[in-house]
Structure 1
Amino acid sequence: MTLAAVVLTGGTGARLGGRDKASIELGGSTLLERALAATVGAHPVVVVGEAVPTSRPVTFAREEPAYGGPVAGLLAGRRALTPTPDLLVVLAVDMPFVTAGTVARLVAAANDGDGSVLTGPDGRRRLVLVVRTARLDDVSPTDPHGCPVHVLLAPLDLRQVTAVGLEGRGVDTVEDLRELEAGG
């Protein structure tokens, strides 16, 4: 079974005062490097966002036009993958506590359906999932710009994988970042 990954970094960072999320450092590593470490078992990896130096080989892609939302980014990353992998890891760069172990749990859970998705303690889905690429292709909209993630995922049979520890914790706002930088 082949496994590839798409890491989404291309948002505007509006709730973070316009900061580039991929370049934010936590614990001595950028959020992008943390995401690449989490996807170490996937090959190839497509990063959807601006090209920057990375510790491992990746392909960079962008949705056209830029800033079309996470579904447009995900599908731009998907289109950059050749050959087509069996499974696709999708990871938002602002999920700094997702690890290779998290991805392994998601891959294991994906065996029984169309894929799996990480859920937080509140039961809400995070933008951390593994999906059968063929099924993603089946449900992809013609125009993904502005399409909500929940609409894309609604027809899929995704197993829920509950986040352990801080895995489900994201960096969405300046307050989130300050709290994490302070050790919380």
Structure 2
Amino acid sequence: MRTAGIVLAGGAARRLSGVDKPMLELDGVPLLRRVITALAGAGPIVVVGPERPGMPDVRWAQESPPGGGPVAALAAGLALMPGDTGIVVVLAGDLVAVRKSTVDKLVGALGAADGAVLTDDEGRFQWLIGAWRPGRLREVLPASPEGKALRAVLGGLSIVPVPGAPGESADVDTPRDLDRLTRSSQPSYRTLS
């Protein structure tokens, strides 16, 4: 059964003054590259958002309208999935600690459910770290997906919660996130130009 990947890498990063979050580097590696690496063995991998340099072996898509939110981005990514895709792993493009082991854990937990979603240290679903049956995703996507919340659209599906390791769901949303990650692991952050 084919496993594919969709990486949601659009968004305006308003809380980070519009910086291109997926291209922030952690220990010299852009976050987007880390996420793509976690999808090793999946194919195709569709990155939804502006095309960026240095990301070979991915297909690019753009949500409509650009900046239309995660459900619109998911719809754009699904539009490029081959018909024989049995599982699609959906990941945010600004994840810090996602690994291939995270993806394997999600895919392994899926079973007969519609989706498997990583939960954080407090047991909350991390909607942008999951493995899904693409047919079921297509069934619940609204005709006008822009501005819709993933939780509202996907929450009615049968979902297996997958406990994450401490920090496994970490992402970068605010300057405080950057400061916390910098202090905790001494990474080097910079934005690629």
For the 8 Å contact 2:21–2:94, the answer to whether it is kept is: yes
1:172 alignment partner in structure 2: 173
Partner of 2:18: 18
Contact 1:16 1:173 in 2 (8 A): yes
Q: 1:82 aligns to what?
A: 82
CA RMSD of aligned residues (A): 1.2
Distance (Å, rounded) in 1 between the aligned partners of 2:52 and 2:63 = 17
Any residues of structure 2 matched to 1:55-66 within 5 Å, and which?
Answer: 55-66=55-66
Aligned to 1:52: 52
Contact in 2 for aligned 1:6/1:91 (Cα 8 Å): yes
| Residue aligning to 2:108 | 108
Query: Where do 1:85-96 residues align within 5 Å?
Result: 85-96=85-96
Contact 1:7–1:48 under 8 Å retained in 2? yes
Quote how far apart the aligned CAs of 1:6 are.
0.4
Shift of 1:84: 4.5
Asked whether the equivalents of residues 121 and 167 of structure 2 are also in contact (C-alpha less than 8 Å), the reply is no
Paired AA for residue 147 in structure 1:
K
**Moved beyond 3 Å, runs of 4+:** none
Percent pairwise identity:
40
Give the TM-score taking structure 2 as reference length: 0.91
Q: How many matched pairs?
A: 184
Structure 2 match to 1:163: 164
Asked if the contact 1:41/1:100 (under 8 Å) is kept, the reply is: no
Distance of 1:155 and 1:135 partners within structure 2: 11
Question: Contact 1:84–1:133 at 8 Å: present in 2 too?
Answer: no
Paired residue for 1:182?
183
Q: How does 1:62-73 map to 2 (within 5 A)?
A: 62-73=62-73
Whole-Å separation in 2 of the counterparts to 1:183 and 1:33:
21
1:97 and 2:97 are equivalent in the alignment: yes
Worse-superposed segment, 32-41 or 80-89? 80-89
List alignment gaps of at least 5 residues for structure 2: 186-193
TM-score by length of 1: 0.96
Report if the CA contact (8 A) 1:17-1:174 is conserved.
no
Q: Are the aligned partners of 1:31 and 1:96 in contact in 2 as well (CA < 8 Å)?
A: yes
